[in-house]
């Protein structure tokens, strides 16, 4: 029952966070300089008045806030004035596919590669291999993903001509380069994290026992050790998602992928209020939900956390 309470509490926090974010974005958008209309200077005062009435912008801020909140509850995100007057929900839903595919691919590739790199690093701690792996993890963390993306374009698309340089029209082949560019940061994070965990695990009694039984080094690390080293990795899924969101903005732009990130940047540059607010909320919801899932997962896997949570 305590676990049920724990989930309820987390849900309450989630709602508080979301309410706060939606209010803040609404307030900020209202005080923004600039106008939501294209070619604003060409509009006469009468035309502008009519436009304001049509889109409900002539109402007082308090009333608009209530309309906005009730719209949100119904899944109505408003209308994008800059991109063909279509509903934002429609605009975004047509673009969410590529973003999710790219994000999931990058996360999968980054985590798996990071786990392998980190485990090997820990197996041969302080050797040449370890230094090499740690150094590549630091370089992966240091080189900004947009520079890495351009490097990939130059090598694999321009020079070698193996893969398409941009766009999202060649099936899986066109997803390879952006995935690689996006996966480098999660890989470096996961590698560093797994290395620390794995060193601890490999020094534990059960790893010694496995060694005494005559198990091979690889088997001890990957079969016995990895399971335990992986549990704490769940905690970095949250920060990793944030990193991927940030990364997707720039990677989607460089590779001209019709995703949420590319739309977000376009909307910022053109003052498209409704879309900016919606993407902001979308990102926040995603992060908050992922944090919630991580907390629940962690509680399920490791009962000690659950107890500590209940005691507070």
The torsion angles phi and psi of 38, rounded to 5 degrees, stand at -80, 150
Comparing CB distances to another protein, the nearer of 13 and 124 is 13
Comparing CB distances to another protein, the nearer of 59 and 141 is 141
- Number of residues that this document lists for the chain: 312
C-beta of 121: minimal distance to another protein in Å? 14
Comparing CB distances to another protein, the nearer of 16 and 300 is 16
What is the token pair recorded at 36? 């939501």
Distance in Å from the first CA to the final CA of the chain:
15
Q: Which residue has the tokens 């995935």?
A: 179
3-state secondary structure 71-98: HHHCCCCCECCCCCCCEHHHHHHCCHHH
Count CA within 13 A, CB hemisphere, residue 167.
4
Comparing CB distances to another protein, the nearer of 287 and 296 is 287
C-beta of 262: minimal distance to another protein in Å? 10
Comparing CB distances to another protein, the nearer of 122 and 210 is 122
Q: How far apart are CA 210 and CA 304, in angstroms?
A: 26
C-beta of 248: minimal distance to another protein in Å? 10
User: What does the binding site for another protein look like in residue numbers (CB under 8 A)?
Assistant: 13-14, 16-18, 20-21, 24-25, 28, 31-32, 135, 138-139, 141-144, 146-147, 150, 154, 158, 242, 245-246, 249-250, 253-254, 264-265, 268-269, 276, 280, 283-284, 287-288, 291
C-beta of 286: minimal distance to another protein in Å? 8
- Residue 104's closest CA among 32, 179, 174? 179
């Amino acid at each position: 029952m305590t676990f049920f309470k724990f989930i309820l509490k987390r849900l309450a926090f989630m709602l508080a966070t979301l309410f706060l974010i939606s209010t803040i974005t609404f307030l900020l958008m209202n005080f923004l300089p600039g106008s939501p209309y294209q070619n604003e200077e060409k509009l006469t005062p009468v035309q502008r008045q009519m436009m304001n009435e049509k889109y409900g912008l002539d109402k007082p801020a308090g009333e608009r806030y209530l309309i906005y909140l009730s719209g949100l509850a119904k899944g109505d995100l408003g209308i994008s004035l800059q991109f063909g007057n279509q509903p934002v929900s429609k605009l975004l839903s047509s673009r969410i596919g590529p973003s999710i595919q790219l994000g999931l691919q990058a996360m999968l590739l980054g985590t798996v590669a990071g786990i392998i790199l980190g485990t090997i690093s820990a197996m041969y701690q302080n050797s040449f291999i370890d230094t090499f792996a740690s150094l590549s993890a630091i370089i992966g963390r240091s080189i900004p993903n947009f520079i890495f993306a351009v490097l990939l374009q130059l090598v694999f698309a321009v020079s070698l001509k193996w893969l398409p340089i941009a766009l999202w029209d060649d099936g899986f082949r066109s997803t390879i380069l952006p995935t690689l560019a996006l996966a480098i940061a999660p890989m470096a994070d996961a590698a560093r994290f797994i290395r620390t965990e794995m060193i601890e695990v490999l020094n534990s009694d059960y790893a010694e026992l496995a060694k005494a039984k005559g198990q091979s080094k690889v088997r001890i690390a990957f079969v016995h050790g990895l399971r335990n080293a992986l549990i704490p990795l769940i905690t970095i899924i949250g920060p990793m998602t944030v990193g991927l969101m940030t990364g997707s903005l720039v990677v989607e732009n460089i590779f001209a992928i019709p995703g949420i990130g590319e739309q977000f940047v376009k909307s910022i540059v053109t003052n498209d209020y409704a879309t900016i607010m919606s993407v902001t909320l979308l990102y926040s919801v995603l992060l908050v939900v992922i944090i919630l899932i991580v907390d629940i997962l962690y509680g399920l896997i490791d009962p000690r956390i659950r107890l500590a949570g209940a005691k507070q």
